[in-house]
Structure 1
Amino acid sequence: MCSDRRVPARSSAPASPSQSSAEPTLAELGEDGVLARILARIPSAGAGAEGVPGAGAAVEVGPGDDAAVTALPGRLVSSADMLVEGEDFLRGWLDPRRLGVKAGAQNLADICAMGAVPTGLLLSLAAPGDTPAAVLEGIVEGLVEEAGRAGAAVLGGDLSGAGQLVVAVTSLGGLDPRLPALTRDAARPGDVLWLGGRTGWAAAGLDLLLASGAALPCTPECAACCAEAVEAQRAPRPDYPAVDRLREALGHAREGAGHGRRAALIDLSDGLHSDAGRIARASGAVLDLDGEALRALAGPLVPVAAHVLAVRGDIPATDPAALALHWVLTGGEDHGFLAAAPPEAVPVGWARIGRVLPGEPEVRVDGAPAVHGTGGFRHFRAPEDGEDVTGAPGPRRRDRA
């Protein structure tokens, strides 16, 4: 390491109520002091490969030098993403460790969505000089934690000053030379649509935070599921091994099927409808989602929806089941995985949620075009007719290329 839907308001709130004014700031410590504290939180920083986690990469030189040195298995797979204060999060909602977990999850999921093994993360941080050093330390701790859960290592990065907190991560992975990448253009008519992990929970958590002003006054009846939804928004935990199980299913189904371990795969960062549309357009096919399967996914979210609507004062104008289904269709940031695979491949632990049909590329539900307004978040997008993008401050949903 060297030198959602509404536009959020800027916030100068501390990242965690646990921080106090006695905590030194970045300006008080200086660059070298900040780096020393950060490096102390990365396993084996400055001490070579010993102790550095990583399922596929051998880390020869870790953080602390001009660059990291790793032995990468197979072909290089890389991606990058960032979280910008005021655009993607408010520090009053995300404590530093959870922000690090979130940054790691959204990047590691992209590597897994190509069918690759995550090996390393590079972290670039920019922050105002009056930011408590504990904020950056917490971000690093969360990133290291989530990287380790995926079998990867934090390899280094960069540090800079800025007018707002920015967390930018570059993710690296290795793809077995014997296996094809799992790309968006590989869906074929006759394929089955599978969901690995879940969708809708992070969107529910975001709406709950927006409706309650982060106070979370949940009733005892929905306290557990409300807390689970908020945690999914703050610190999503993708099911990385789900992709391994998909690979295993493709391998078992390969003999006699002639599909060559082919499957389309995408990280659901922007919502099921939006990301299904990306597969549909890339593959030139129709993705027909099963309404009954979607309602089953939405069922556990209905109590959360009822609470959100009660806080908003929207009951009985809006049906809680309809809002829960909307979250399932449009909610990103859980970082579940959508796959289109040959019918012979049945991945363990994945939910069957539809099929691929011939036709002009589009997303359908039970054979009918999906309703207007289920496209997921886009940066720089103009509001749709009747859509409210003002209102309470809060982070908007993510968009990825």
Structure 2
Amino acid sequence: MYVKSIERVGVTSFPAHYSGPTLGDVGEHRAIEAIIAAAPSSRNGDDAAVLSHASPNSRAVATTDMLIEGRHFRVDWSTPEEIGRKSIVQNFADIEAMGARPIAALLAVSAPPHTPLAYLRGIAEGINTQVGAYSAELVGGDLTSGNDLVLSVTAIGSLGGSRPELTLDRARPGQRVVAHGRIGWSAAGLALLERFGRRVPEHLLPLIDAHCAPALTPGRGVVARATGATAMTDNSDGLIVDLSTIARRSGVGIDLHSADIMPPSIVWEAAELLDADPWEWVLTGGEDHTLLATTAGEPPSGFRSIGRVVRGDSVTIDGAAPRYGHGWVSF
């Protein structure tokens, strides 16, 4: 298993340079004040956030996801800013996958009392950076003491216009399969981290970045929906697993073109260094949060064609069963 299989390293030990008071020293209220200062919003600070009324002919979209230290990230691999950015990307990707626009996020944190206040502030700063890229805001949340560092983010989006949301069950034979974003980079970065930590050749650092703080271009989901995409998801659990979900829900097959999902040179170099098969990262890795969609027309702006929807009930590559088909499962 390549993604989200990080083993726990014992009680959370934060990097030494995060000195100063801990959450246990300052207490809940000062810690919350630090979060609000790092990710300011005029809607945050009361019992609940009141969002602007949605425009006519629009609907609200909501999703939630968790990050658990030792399972989804490690504090000796990721900076707190990267953890904050990752928590938003993995949630906003789900909003984008519906063809909607993220507008707000809520953050719930469980943290050990010895967590440095500066570390929590860094997470909030990373969140603020990422929500700012979407012109969204962190509008509230919760903070409690716990044995492990756990982040739970709830994302809220707006789905405007009369076009249907991009659900998983509307792919049809003859349509294109298109993708926006990288595939296999996060899994390659995790494999490098497991072997070398962050001490890798400089030209491979983008793979580390892809795992610790995956990137997604804001607005691509909205563009895909506006230009006629029919179904969409994000690559969080593995390319074959996530496309198999669309295939199963839509009652179709999906045939990928190997030339269009070929690992790039940087992924091949990492595989050679680790004596690994880069195709396993591409097909099973996940956590790139690449948008995967189907459309009857040309690829939307920012997307590329990677295959076709066909008659059948499975995902194939060049008409044959994929070499790897597993992916991430929680249990």
The bucket for the TM-score relative to the shorter chain is over 0.9
Question: Residue 139 of structure 1 aligns with which residue?
Answer: 123
Q: Which residues of structure 2 form unaligned runs of 5+?
A: none
Alignment of 1:263-282 (within 5 A): 263-282=230-249
- Residue 379, structure 1, aligned to residue 313, structure 2: no
**Between 286-295 and 11-20, the greater mean CA deviation after superposition:** 11-20
Question: Residue 241 and residue 15 in structure 1: after superposition, are their counterparts in 2 closer, same or farther (change >3 A)?
Answer: farther
- Find the residue that maps to 1:130 and give its secondary structure: coil
Over the matched positions of the two proteins, sequence identity in percent amounts to 38
Question: Residue 47 of structure 2 aligns with which residue?
Answer: 66
- Find the residue that maps to 2:169 and give its secondary structure: helix
- Find the residue that maps to 2:227 and give its secondary structure: helix
Question: Residue 9 of structure 1 aligns with which residue?
Answer: 8
Question: Residue 209 of structure 1 aligns with which residue?
Answer: 193
**Equivalent-residue separation in structure 1 for 2:144 and 2:181 (angstroms):** 35
1:89-119 deviations in Å (ceiling 9; x for gaps): 1111111111000001000100000000101
- Residue 288, structure 1, aligned to residue 255, structure 2: yes
Question: Residue 219 of structure 2 aligns with which residue?
Answer: 241
Report how far residue 217 of structure 1 moved: 3.8
- Find the residue that maps to 2:48 and give its secondary structure: coil
**Equivalent-residue separation in structure 2 for 1:7 and 1:142 (angstroms):** 22
Question: Residue 72 and residue 16 in structure 1: after superposition, are their counterparts in 2 closer, same or farther (change >3 A)?
Answer: farther
Query: Aligned AA for 2:159?
Result: L
Query: Aligned AA for 2:44?
Result: P
Question: Contact 1:202 / 1:236 at 8 angstroms: preserved in 2?
Answer: yes
- Find the residue that maps to 1:231 and give its secondary structure: helix
**Equivalent-residue separation in structure 2 for 1:351 and 1:338 (angstroms):** 10
Question: Residue 333 of structure 1 aligns with which residue?
Answer: 287
**Equivalent-residue separation in structure 2 for 1:374 and 1:35 (angstroms):** 43
- Find the residue that maps to 1:70 and give its secondary structure: coil
Say which of 40, 54, 59 aligns to 1:75.
59
Question: Contact 1:200 / 1:298 at 8 angstroms: preserved in 2?
Answer: no
Question: Contact 2:102 / 2:136 at 8 angstroms: preserved in 1?
Answer: yes
**Equivalent-residue separation in structure 2 for 1:201 and 1:155 (angstroms):** 31
**Equivalent-residue separation in structure 1 for 2:39 and 2:264 (angstroms):** 39
Alignment of 1:3-82 (within 5 A): 4=3, 6=5, 8-12=7-11, 14-20=13-19, 23-44=20-41, 48=42, 62-73=43-54, 74-82=58-66
**Equivalent-residue separation in structure 1 for 2:184 and 2:53 (angstroms):** 35
Answer with 1 or 2: which has the greater Rg: 1
**Equivalent-residue separation in structure 2 for 1:69 and 1:174 (angstroms):** 15
- Residue 227, structure 1, aligned to residue 205, structure 2: yes
Report how far residue 363 of structure 1 moved: 0.6
Report how far residue 349 of structure 1 moved: 2.4
Question: Contact 1:15 / 1:94 at 8 angstroms: preserved in 2?
Answer: no
**Equivalent-residue separation in structure 2 for 1:337 and 1:289 (angstroms):** 15
Question: Residue 105 of structure 1 aligns with which residue?
Answer: 89
Report how far residue 177 of structure 1 moved: 4.0
Query: Aligned AA for 1:302?
Result: W
**Equivalent-residue separation in structure 2 for 1:172 and 1:5 (angstroms):** 24
Question: Residue 348 of structure 1 aligns with which residue?
Answer: 301
Query: Aligned AA for 2:9?
Result: R
Question: Residue 122 of structure 1 aligns with which residue?
Answer: 106
Report how far residue 124 of structure 1 moved: 0.2
- Find the residue that maps to 1:69 and give its secondary structure: coil
Question: Residue 345 and residue 36 in structure 1: after superposition, are their counterparts in 2 closer, same or farther (change >3 A)?
Answer: same
- Residue 198, structure 1, aligned to residue 198, structure 2: no
Report how far residue 330 of structure 1 moved: 1.3
Query: Aligned AA for 1:305?
Result: A
Report how far residue 300 of structure 1 moved: 3.5
Alignment of 1:177-196 (within 5 A): 177-196=161-180
**Equivalent-residue separation in structure 2 for 1:92 and 1:7 (angstroms):** 12
- Find the residue that maps to 2:151 and give its secondary structure: strand
Report how far residue 299 of structure 1 moved: 3.6
Question: Residue 216 and residue 337 in structure 1: after superposition, are their counterparts in 2 closer, same or farther (change >3 A)?
Answer: same
Question: Contact 1:239 / 1:336 at 8 angstroms: preserved in 2?
Answer: no
Question: Contact 1:298 / 1:324 at 8 angstroms: preserved in 2?
Answer: no
- Find the residue that maps to 2:140 and give its secondary structure: strand
1:52-76 deviations in Å (ceiling 9; x for gaps): xxxxxxxxxx111100001142211
Equivalent residues, number: 326
**Equivalent-residue separation in structure 2 for 1:268 and 1:240 (angstroms):** 16
**Equivalent-residue separation in structure 2 for 1:346 and 1:217 (angstroms):** 35
**Equivalent-residue separation in structure 2 for 1:379 and 1:327 (angstroms):** 18
- Give the TM-score of the pair, scaled to structure 1: 0.78
**Equivalent-residue separation in structure 2 for 1:179 and 1:72 (angstroms):** 20
Say which of 152, 155, 158 aligns to 1:168.
152
Question: Residue 357 of structure 1 aligns with which residue?
Answer: 310
